């Protein structure tokens, strides 16, 4: 196939994929965060009689070995970012993940086959993003479906109607088209451009007409990998008690906090390796961050994973999604001044200091104020840093002989 190849990895349900990978070989169900009803199930749970819409108690009564949990948004976002970073490190530097569950990347046919086998997911390979996604929807899990440009004209007309959401059609429009008797894209091709625009809307009609004329998205943007701070601690004996966990977090957090350098983190993720597998939980820490607050958030995340019951053999604390907190550099600071300070701090984190006031009515300057780091707030010694007037230990005054005699 001439030109770069675009692969589309289709993970039908990202939440179910994340939970299933953490608990392989078990019937798995994803619950609603509000009603605790079953939203998604894997094939093992489906074979045991668990159906979407059941209450948690009814699902467990049908399948006692069912593992059901609520997959929260921060946890899924962190797992999705980790997957994109993994693809970046192993397969390609051009990756786009517009929505969790669908990722596009440039690769060869051999790499696409390796990707499908490692993720056990359907992969489509084509010269454009739209055709690659349509091919992924027609592939089986763990297989690659390749559509070359010379066979596009034969395969596109038989595309099922349910797959046309790739081109922007909504579920309501697909239901209306099915009610009219349309079954595939070829039936829609029989309509004129004016009929498609009148039924689907002018914007969607023009997009569909452009696609049928051969206009495709054939490029993928370069992926910017996210920075991750990660510290791991391995134990000789499994941890079961909250006190042991707190002591371990106190050993881990100084190194994690030192790498932050005053930045904020969007997610704190805890990986607990137990005899039953790896348990993961994520929380959103609040600014300002300190070691004590990070320990508390990490402890809550471990509690969410319920890992102490099984025993923790290895504990990993990970921070991601870093941004610099906003600071007012002046009373009427403009955008230009803010951009300059941001660029300087990115290159030289220790370049700026600021004043932290103490007691403005103190008699000595070292009690009135001191200089601290712009980002971390730690005290910094600079040429203008006030120093105490008395240096070192005071020396004892000699006692004269006559006072000694008088004392005697």
Asked whether residue 344 carries a pLDDT value surpassing 80, the answer given is no
Residue 264 makes CB contacts below 8 A (sequence gap 6+) with: 285, 287, 289, 322, 323, 324, 325
The percent of residues in the chain predicted with pLDDT above 90, rounded, is 16
Place of tokens 């467990």: 60
- Mean pLDDT over 167-177 rounds to 88
Asked whether residue 123 carries a pLDDT value surpassing 90, the answer given is yes
Asked whether residue 208 carries a pLDDT value surpassing 80, the answer given is yes
Q: Are 9 and 23 in contact (CB under 8 A)?
A: no
pLDDT at 340: 67
pLDDT at 159: 86
Record the pTM: 0.55
Tens of pLDDT, residues 301-326: 999 888 899 999 999 998 877 766 66
- Mean pLDDT over 68-82 rounds to 81
Give the CATH H-level superfamily of domain 228-323. Answer: DNA polymerase, Y-family, little finger domain (3.30.1490.100)
Tell me the backbone φ, ψ of residue 318, rounded to 5 degrees: -135, 135
pLDDT at 225: 64
Asked whether residue 402 carries a pLDDT value surpassing 50, the answer given is no
pLDDT at 1: 43
pLDDT at 277: 84
pLDDT at 399: 46
Q: Where in the chain is the domain with CATH 3.30.1490.100?
A: 228-323
Q: Are 220 and 105 in contact (CB under 8 A)?
A: yes
Tens of pLDDT, residues 241-281: 999 999 999 999 998 888 887 777 877 889 899 998 888 88
């Amino acid at each position: 196939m001439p030109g770069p190849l675009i692969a589309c990895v289709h993970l039908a349900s990202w939440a179910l994929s994340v939970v299933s990978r953490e608990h392989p070989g078990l019937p798995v169900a994803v619950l609603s965060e509000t009603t605790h009803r079953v939203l998604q199930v894997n094939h093992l749970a489906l074979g045991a009689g668990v159906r979407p819409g059941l209450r948690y108690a009814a699902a467990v009564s049908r399948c006692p070995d069912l593992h059901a949990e609520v997959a929260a948004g921060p946890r899924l976002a962190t797992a999705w970012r980790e997957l994109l970073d993994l693809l970046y490190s192993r397969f390609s530097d051009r990756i786009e993940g517009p929505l969790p569950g669908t990722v596009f990347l440039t690769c060869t046919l051999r790499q696409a086959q390796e990707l499908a086998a490692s993720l056990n997911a359907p992969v489509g390979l084509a010269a454009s993003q739209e055709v690659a996604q349509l091919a992924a929807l027609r592939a089986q899990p763990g297989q690659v479906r390749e559509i070359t440009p010379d066979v596009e004209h034969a395969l596109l007309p038989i595309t099922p109607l349910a797959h046309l959401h790739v081109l922007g059609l909504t579920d309501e429009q697909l239901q209306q088209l099915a009610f009219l008797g349309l079954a595939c894209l070829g039936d829609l091709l029989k309509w004129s451009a004016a009929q498609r625009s009148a039924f689907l809307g002018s914007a969607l009609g023009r997009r569909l007409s452009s696609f049928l004329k051969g206009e495709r998205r054939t490029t993928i943007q370069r992926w910017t990998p996210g920075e991750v701070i990660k510290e791991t601690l391995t134990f000789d004996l499994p941890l079961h008690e909250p006190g042991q966990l707190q002591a371990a977090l106190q050993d881990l957090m100084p190194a994690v906090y030192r790498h932050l350098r005053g930045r904020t983190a969007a997610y704190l993720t805890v990986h607990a390796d137990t005899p039953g597998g790896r348990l993961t939980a994520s929380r959103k820490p609040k600014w300002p961050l300190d070691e004590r607050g990070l320990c508390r958030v990490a402890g809550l995340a471990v509690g969410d994973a319920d890992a102490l019951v099984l025993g923790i053999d290895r504990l990993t604390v990970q921070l991601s999604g870093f941004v610099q907190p906003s600071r007012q550099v002046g009373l009427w600071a403009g955008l230009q001044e803010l951009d300059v300070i941001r660029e300087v701090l990115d290159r030289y984190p220790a370049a700026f200091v600021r004043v932290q006031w103490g007691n403005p009515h103190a008699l000595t300057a070292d009690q009135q104020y001191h200089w601290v780091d712009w980002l971390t707030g730690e005290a910094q010694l600079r040429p203008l840093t006030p120093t105490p007037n008395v240096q070192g230990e005071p020396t004892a005054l000699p006692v004269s002989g006559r006072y000694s005699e008088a004392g005697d």
